[in-house]
Amino acid sequence: MITYLIRRILYAIPILIGVNLLTFALFFVINTPDDMARMQLGMKRVTPDAIEKWKQQRGYDKPLLFNSQAAGTKKLTDTIFFQKSASMFIFDFGYSDDGRSISREISTRMFPSLVIALPTFVVGLLLYITFALLMALFRGTMLDIAGVTVCVILMSISSLFYIIGGQFLVSKLWHWVPISGYAGGMDSLRFILLPVLIGIVSGIGASSRWYRTIFLEEVGRDYVRTARAKGLSELRVLFRHVLKNAMIPILTGVVAVIPLLFMGSLLTESFFGIPGLGSYTIDAIQAQDFGVVRAMVFLGSVLYIVGLILTDISYTVVDPRVRLQ
């Protein structure tokens, strides 16, 4: 397993270089360093000298990928791509265009993102699985049909509607929680309750339907029939046997996203004023802050790779027949 893990980590390096190159290319196809400077310097009284100075101070005055003026390896290393990318592999993300340390921003914003994403994920997962198992339990009955109909309705509604509707009903009309904002410590409960609730409700439709399909596939198998024949109650059959055997497809979708919980949610964080990584990313895209965008894409890629490795490991936990070689 150790060999397997080392191999996967080594595979990750070219993938990360590729992702980085792709981000770089996509970003600079749309924006030139001059555009970035103008975006940062504003509209009024921006002179060509000011643009040159801005680029020089931030290292954007070099060629993008290949420096024909330089000698030897500097042809590749004295470029924007190398200068901005190499340090990321030791997780030194540098500074954003407004001069703030990106690593520090990530470390302070990660927690608010997690505070929303983790309960949404955990409670949501439990609720979706329970709801899906109940639909499987009552399969073919009016309850099952009603459940599926509710799921289809829920998944057809835009997540923005859940947010605005939730804020209107829960915060504006009923005055239960603040409409938006964030606080640390125990007080954060009042602020995260609504976004977590909305996150869970907006995910019920799609997730529960998916899990129901998985469970229905399982309930037709021989071992389920055997369990029933042995006289086990329907609940025990479902929660003890069907659930356990349906874990592989569930884990495939679930474990891979666990590390990505750190990255936060773009929409929820923006609407609820949560100072997390989701809103950080969206602000950086709007401000054309390449430093932050590349750092967040890089971090997202790393976390995704970690998620995939964790998924592989989780297979060995739930199914002893799986071996990582």
Stretch in the footprint of another protein (CB under 8 A) among 63-71, 175-183, 204-212, 249-257: 175-183
Are 285 and 270 spatial neighbours (Cβ–Cβ below 8 Å)? no
The token pair that represents 254 in the structure block: 């679930």
- Smallest gap from Cβ 72 to another protein, in A, equals 24
3-class DSSP state of 101: strand
Is residue 98 a contact residue for another protein (CB under 8 A)?
Answer: yes
Binding-residue pattern over the window 57 to 76 for another protein, x denoting contact by CB under 8 A: x-------------------
Instruction: Quickly count: other Cβ atoms within 10 Å of residue 226's Cβ.
Output: 12
- Smallest gap from Cβ 178 to another protein, in A, equals 4
Element (H or E) spanning 282, and its range?
Answer: helix 277-286
Task: Tell me whether residue 241 or residue 255 sits nearer to another protein (CB atom).
Answer: 241
Q: Give the 3-state secondary structure of 218-232.
A: HHCCHHHHHHHHCCC
Is residue 272 a contact residue for another protein (CB under 8 A)?
Answer: yes
Is residue 273 a contact residue for another protein (CB under 8 A)?
Answer: yes
Judged by CB under 8 A, the chain residues 224 through 243 that form the site for another protein are 233-235
Judged by CB under 8 A, the chain residues 279 through 318 that form the site for another protein are 279-280, 283, 288
Contacts of 184-193 with CB under 8 Å at 24 or more apart are 188/115, 191/272, 191/274, 192/115, 192/116, 192/119
Stretch in the footprint of another protein (CB under 8 A) among 28-36, 79-87, 211-219, 258-266: 28-36
Task: Tell me whether residue 2 or residue 186 sits nearer to another protein (CB atom).
Answer: 186
Is residue 35 a contact residue for another protein (CB under 8 A)?
Answer: yes
What is the Cα–Cα distance from 194 to 151, expressed in whole angstroms? 20
- Smallest gap from Cβ 9 to another protein, in A, equals 28
Instruction: Quickly count: other Cβ atoms within 10 Å of residue 313's Cβ.
Output: 16
The token pair that represents 80 in the structure block: 């924007």
Alpha-carbon distances of 85 from 81, 271, 289, rounded to whole Å: 6, 32, 15
Task: Tell me whether residue 39 or residue 216 sits nearer to another protein (CB atom).
Answer: 39
Binding-residue pattern over the window 37 to 56 for another protein, x denoting contact by CB under 8 A: -xxxxx-xxxxxxx--xx--
3-class DSSP state of 100: coil
Taking alpha carbons only, the member of 243, 293, 252, 267 closest to residue 106 is 293
Q: Give the 3-state secondary structure of 111-133.
A: HHHHHHHHHHHHHHHHHHHHHHH
Stretch in the footprint of another protein (CB under 8 A) among 5-13, 19-27, 277-285, 297-305: 277-285
- Smallest gap from Cβ 241 to another protein, in A, equals 16
Contact with another protein (CB under 8 A): which of 156, 186, 222, 229? 186
Contact with another protein (CB under 8 A): which of 2, 14, 187, 220? 187
Is residue 111 a contact residue for another protein (CB under 8 A)?
Answer: no
Angle in degrees, 0-180, between the axes of helices 142-156 and 188-219, rounded to the nearest 10: 130
Sites of contact with another protein (CB under 8 A): 30-32, 35, 38-42, 44-50, 53-54, 57, 95, 98-101, 104-105, 108-109, 134, 137-138, 143, 164, 167, 171-183, 186-187, 189-191, 193, 233-235, 270-273, 275, 279-280, 283, 288
